[in-house]
A and B are shown apart, each in its own frame.
Chain A
């Protein structure tokens, strides 16, 4: 269908479309105003450092610097927020705690909070946690709860991790110790059998190989012993020392003013405008698609090869006098023609001349 047909549908239904469009735009402005007046936002900024013993505690941690600590911690918080248990633990100390007892209400509340919580890294070491809502106190409580719960989770995870690591390395230590003992015994036995081998003899070369094996086993043992010492040190770190890795730079406060920024308002307005125009465009497209009637000479020409003789502006219907615009034939909407002139079909209603 041509653009003209769509435009025709719009202008034909303009008494419907334009008021609806205006209503939608008014609703958008009112909605934006309401959001601007009732939307509060609590924010916290956290400084995070890469833990000094992170590589020790996390055997899977990449050796090179790939992800910034800020990004790493933000990712962790975002992942935790995807779990219902973590969000529920945040809400435990908020005014929403009472709604967690009802199953259906619990799901809705958790989903709602999850949608309004935003965690973004700011630079390499800072993470911003923001919650936007209509209750300023709740905003502060949720942001504070998020930080508290994450810190608690992080501590627990590290302690548990270090214990597991220690157990793992202790087992490794035993294996490496056995390897050192075995290598020592093999080297001693060989030296006993060949106390002073000639440097050019094969025995000398074999002795050197046994000594290298022993050194290698000792190096592994030494590394493992160091790791165990580090794991023990990490496990004994106090909360105070951990706070250096996780500092709250800006603690969340109860917002006293609505938080709508100009950008946010522009965003809401733009979305509203897009949605309004989109809705009207869809309605026009649907109405055009539904309209299968002949409306112009072009429609007729697409339908049949029978030529269009003329397009008469308006004549009343004899069978349905009540329909359309009932006027007597003589009073029909007259084209701007002067008697005696033989005009070509107008540009508006193109027709083929039959000769």
Chain B
């Protein structure tokens, strides 16, 4: 079951090597994204897109706010 995290936990996990994924449309990612995040828009999130992620490491997803 996915786990909700806050900013503090996010920063800890990033330091520890977690992967970060922005799921907003690509244009919004291009304008502004968290350092180190990759872009996989929710509409494009399928098996092929997810193959660029490492299943052995934690994955953190985010969008704009509480959407």
Q: Do A and B bind each other?
A: no
Residues of B within 8 A of A (CB): none
